[in-house]
Amino acid sequence: MLERWFADGVVPGAVALVAREGQIEAAAVGELDRESPVRIASVGKPVTAALVLQLVDDGVLALDDPVERWLPELADRRVVRTPGAPVTDTVPAVRPFTVRDVLESRAGYGFPADFTLPALAPLVAELGQGPPQPQRVAPPDEWTATLAGIPMLHQPGEAWLYNTCSDLQGVLAARATGQPLEHLLAERLFEPLGMPDTGFHAPPGSLSPLYRPGPDGTLMVADPPDGQWSTPPPFPSGAGGLVSTLDDVFTFLRMLRSGGRVKDGRRVLSPHAVRLMTTDHLSDRQRADSKLFLAGQGWGYGGSVDVARREPWNVPGRYGWVGGTGTAAHVVRSTGLVTVLLTQREMTDPTPPPLMREFWRYAAGG
C-alpha cells in the first residue's frame, strides 16, 4: 500500500505500523524509515494531556482548580458577546476556566468550524495559532501575556474549540512545576517510557524535508532539514511542536493500551487518568458543532474518541489523533489494536487524506 502511494508521487516517504494480537507489522518507503525523526504535529496533543494528568495523579494540579491560580494573567476573562461579535464587544466570563476545561478543550479559546469569526484573527496574528511554526512563536510567559489580551470565543465549558487548549496545557504544566515543558516531558514521560528520539527539535541533519502540496498537487518544501525543528524553539508547543519516531509513538500508545504501564510493568499514569484520556467528554451538540474536525466523533483528553461506527475503522473507544504534517496515531484498548502512520506531506484541511483512510481501512481488516 505505501509503495503504491510513494510510486504515484503522493508522498516522498512514509512509515507505518500496525500492532494487533501480539503481532507487529511495520513498513517504510522513500525518505523515511523506522528510525527517522518526523514532525508529528498534533499527534503530540495526547502526550501533553498525559503529562497534565500525571500532575493531577501526583496532586500538583486538580481537575477543578482554576487555571488562573498558576496563570494569574488569565484571571478576569472577557468573552465576545456572541461568537460573531467584534473583539471589542465583550462580556465578563461567568466563571474562571479550570484544568478540566483546558484538558477537554472547552476553556473558551481555540478554533471553531467557522474560521471567519473576528475573535479568531488575534489568535492567528498575535499568538501564532495555526500550522506549527516553532521558531516564530513568543516564549511561554510572553505568549500567555498576549493571550490575556485576547477575548474568549465562548464561555468556559460551553463549546469544544481546537488547538489552543493543548498549548495552554503545556504552559500550565511548566508554570505549576517551575520547570520548562521540554524538561518535564523528558523526565516524566520520555525517559520512563523509553522514547529517546522524542523532543522539540531533532539532531542536525536528521530530518527529512516537510512538503506542502501546491494547487496542482506538486510538492514544495515547506520546512527544510535545517528549518524550524532543527534548533530548540522559544515556545515548546504542547499542541504541535514535537518531533518523534515510529517506535517512540508506538511506545506511548502501548502505554495507554496497557492502562498506564510501561513495558516492564512500571506505572506512569493511573488507570483513572487513562480512562479520562480515552473517554468522550462532549455533549451531542458539541460533537455536532465540531464535525469539521471530529467528523461526528467525540473528544477525550488530547485526542478524539470514536463514538459512532461511521467507517470500518471507527470502533467505539478508539482513541488518538491526526497531525497536520500527515501523521496519525490511534489505539483501541478493547481490542489491543495500535496504528501509527507518519508522513511529511502536509494536510490541506482537517479531513484525513486518502492515504490515511486507506491505511486505517487496512488496519481494520478491510
Alpha-carbon distance 209 to 207, whole Å? 6
Average pLDDT of span 2-7:
94
Reported as a pLDDT band with limits 50, 70 and 90, residue 366 is: low
pLDDT at position 22, please? 85
Number of residues assigned to the chain: 366
**Alpha-helical regions (H) of the chain:** 2-7, 45-57, 99-103, 120-125, 140-148, 164-177, 181-185, 191-193, 246-257, 271-277, 284-289, 291-294, 354-363
pLDDT at 330 over 70: yes
Residue 229 has which C-alpha cell?
525543528
* Residue ranges of domains in the chain, CATH in brackets: 2-57+179-363 (3.40.710.10), 67-177 (1.20.58)
Residue 238 burial (10 A CB sphere; 0-12, 13-18, 19+): buried
Q: How confident is the model at residue 256 (pLDDT cuts 50, 70, 90)?
A: very high
Q: How far apart are CA 344 and CA 31, in angstroms?
A: 9
Whole-angstrom distance, CA of residue 199 vs CA of residue 183: 9
By mean pLDDT, which of 40-54, 157-171, 213-227, 239-253 is the weakest? 213-227
What digits encode the pLDDT tens for the residues 228-249?
A: 999 999 999 999 999 999 999 9
Average pLDDT of the residues in 72-87: 98
**pTM for this one?**
0.97
Distance (Å, whole) CA 332 – CA 364: 11
Average pLDDT rounded to a whole number, residues 161-178? 98
With contact defined as beta carbons under 8 Å apart, do 169 and 175 qualify?
no
